[in-house]
Structure 1
Amino acid sequence: MTMRDLISGLTQQENLNFLLTNRIPRATLTRFMGWFSKVEQPLIRDLSIACWRLFSDLDLSEAHKTSFKSLHDCFTRELRPGLRPLDFDPAIVVSPCDAIIGAFGKVVDTEVFQIKGAPYSLRDLLGDPALVDAHRNGRFITLRLTSSMYHRFHAPHDCRIERVTFVHGDVWNVNPIALKRVERLFCRNERAVLQTRLPTGEALTLVPVAAILVASIRLHFIDVTLNAQTRGPTIFPCDASVRKGEELGWFEHGSTIILLAPEDFEFCDNVVESARIKVGQPLMRKIAGASACVVDPSEGMEIAAEPAKL
Structure 2
Amino acid sequence: MLLQEDLNFLLTNRIPRVAVTRLMGRISRIRSRTFTRLAIALWRLFTDLDLSEAVPQRYESLQQCFTRALRPGLRPVDPRPEVLTSPCDAIVGACGPVVAGQVWQAKGFPYAAADLFGQAERAEPFEGGRFVTLRLTSSMYHRFHAPHKARIDHVSYLSGDVWNVNPIALKRVERLFCRNERAVIRMTLEAGPVIALVPVAAVLVASIRLHALDVLMHLGWPGPHEMPCNAQVDKGEEMGWFEHGSTIIVFVPAGFELVKGIEPGRRIRMGEPLMTLPTGAV
Give the TM bin, normalised by the shorter chain. Answer: over 0.9
Aligned partners of 2:223, 2:170: CA distance in 1, in Å? 31
Whether 1:259 and 2:222 are equivalent positions in the alignment is no
2:64 corresponds to? 73
Structure 1 36/215 Cα, relative in aligned 2: closer, same or farther at 3 Å? Answer: closer
1:85 is paired with a residue of what secondary structure? coil
Q: 1:284 aligns with which of 272, 275, 281?
A: 275
Tell me the TM-score normalised to structure 2 length: 0.97
1:274 corresponds to? 265
2:229 corresponds to? 238
1:67 is paired with a residue of what secondary structure? coil
1:15 corresponds to? 6
Preserved contact between residue 150 and residue 234 of structure 2 (Cα < 8 Å): yes
Q: CA deviation at 1:231?
A: 5.4
2:148 is paired with a residue of what secondary structure? coil
Whether 1:61 and 2:63 are equivalent positions in the alignment is no
Preserved contact between residue 199 and residue 248 of structure 2 (Cα < 8 Å): yes
Q: Structure 1 unaligned segments of length 5 or more: list them.
A: 1-9, 294-310
Whether 1:248 and 2:239 are equivalent positions in the alignment is yes
May I ask how many residue pairs the two structures share in their alignment? 282
Aligned partners of 1:231, 1:222: CA distance in 2, in Å? 17
- Residues 35-184 of structure 1 aligned to structure 2 (within 5 Å): 35-184=26-175
Structure 1 252/43 Cα, relative in aligned 2: closer, same or farther at 3 Å? Answer: same
Preserved contact between residue 171 and residue 215 of structure 1 (Cα < 8 Å): no
Aligned partners of 2:179, 2:222: CA distance in 1, in Å? 19
Tell me the TM-score normalised to structure 1 length: 0.89
Q: Which one-letter code corresponds to 1:191 in the other structure?
A: R
Aligned partners of 2:21, 2:118: CA distance in 1, in Å? 25
Whether 1:224 and 2:219 are equivalent positions in the alignment is no
Aligned partners of 1:53, 1:11: CA distance in 2, in Å? 25
Q: Which one-letter code corresponds to 1:121 in the other structure?
A: A
Aligned partners of 1:26, 1:55: CA distance in 2, in Å? 19
1:47 is paired with a residue of what secondary structure? helix
Aligned partners of 2:158, 2:92: CA distance in 1, in Å? 24
Aligned partners of 1:232, 1:110: CA distance in 2, in Å? 24
Aligned partners of 2:83, 2:100: CA distance in 1, in Å? 24
Aligned partners of 1:235, 1:11: CA distance in 2, in Å? 42
Preserved contact between residue 270 and residue 283 of structure 1 (Cα < 8 Å): no
Q: Structure 2 unaligned segments of length 5 or more: list them.
A: none
C-alpha distance after superposition, 1:47-70 (max 9, x if no partner): 101101121100000001232111
Q: Which one-letter code corresponds to 1:98 in the other structure?
A: D
Aligned partners of 1:185, 1:292: CA distance in 2, in Å? 34
Whether 1:27 and 2:12 are equivalent positions in the alignment is no
1:181 is paired with a residue of what secondary structure? coil
Preserved contact between residue 88 and residue 142 of structure 2 (Cα < 8 Å): yes
Q: CA deviation at 1:102?
A: 0.2
Give the CA RMSD over aligned residues: 1.2
Q: Which one-letter code corresponds to 1:292 in the other structure?
A: A
